[in-house]
Structures are given as C-alpha cells and as structure tokens.
Structure 1
C-alpha cells in the first residue's frame, strides 16, 4: 500500500465519527429543500452514506481498518506489539 494512502486513512477526518443521530431540524440552505411528502421525521434522517452499518472499526493508534480486535480497539499488529511489551492487562503469552 502506498504510504500517502495509509497516512490519509489515519488522519482524524477519516476516522470514525460519533454515531449520534442528526438533529430533527436542519438548515435548508445547507441540506437543500426539505421533502414534505415523506414527513419531517424521515426527511431529517442521516444522509444515505452515513448509516452506522457503513462505518468501519479502526485501530485507535494508527487507524488501520483491517484485522481489528474489538476488545482492545487495536489491529493485530499493534495488539501484538503491546502484548509483548506487557502493556495490555490480562494478556499473557500462551504455551501448549
């Protein structure tokens, strides 16, 4: 992967935004005319590309989108590094 693409994905603008619902009232100058046929509740919903299902979990350190571990919020690479350093509580090296 190209270095600049990786840096752009780790940028704060590209990271996951809060999933708070949008307000019921919007400025028509910014969002265009309100559709009155569907009613105010449906017209004031989130934009079509901002549904929570489209948001991607990202690593909290470098923003990596793949190989994400939900329990720690880290990718497999950073999880391994922190586990080897002993910075993750309750994680021990396994042997069998």
Structure 2
C-alpha cells in the first residue's frame, strides 16, 4: 500500500470512529470538503501542514495517519447517510 493510500485509509477510519462527516472534518481542519474526499481515496499528495491540521482536528498525533493497516484489515465503513437527530 502506498503512503497516500495509507493516509487516506487511516483518515477515514479515524473520522468514522469519531462520527465526523467529511464536511465537519474539513471545517475543523480549515480545508475543502472535496479535498478530504480525495485524500481518503488516496488521490492527493498531502502536505505536512495539511496532515498536521487533519491530525489536530481528529485529536491524534500526525504519525498516527502514517501507520500501515494490517494486511487483513477491512476498509473502514462509511458513516450512515443523512442528518443526525437533534438531541433532547
């Protein structure tokens, strides 16, 4: 797996674990939502500044986005579509 794919895989995994949409993550990292999608697909060559901004928005060290997933790991599932119900 190449580095762009590793970053994208980890980004999607962490984003979904935290229940964040691509749009919310993009807002938190101050980048374009479509850019987040391209990063997750492994089609963008991310700068270190962008990597740091995404890691900060996710609350992880940047190095966590560079860890190669196990060979038998399943691709992270997408979030359920639609808006979340309002609390209370």
Coarse TM-score class (shorter-chain normalised) = under 0.3
Larger Rg over CA atoms:
1
Higher strand share: 1
The structure with higher relative contact order (CA 8 Å, sep 6+) is 2
More helix by share: 2
TM normalised by structure 1 equals 0.19
Q: TM-score, normalised by structure 2?
A: 0.20
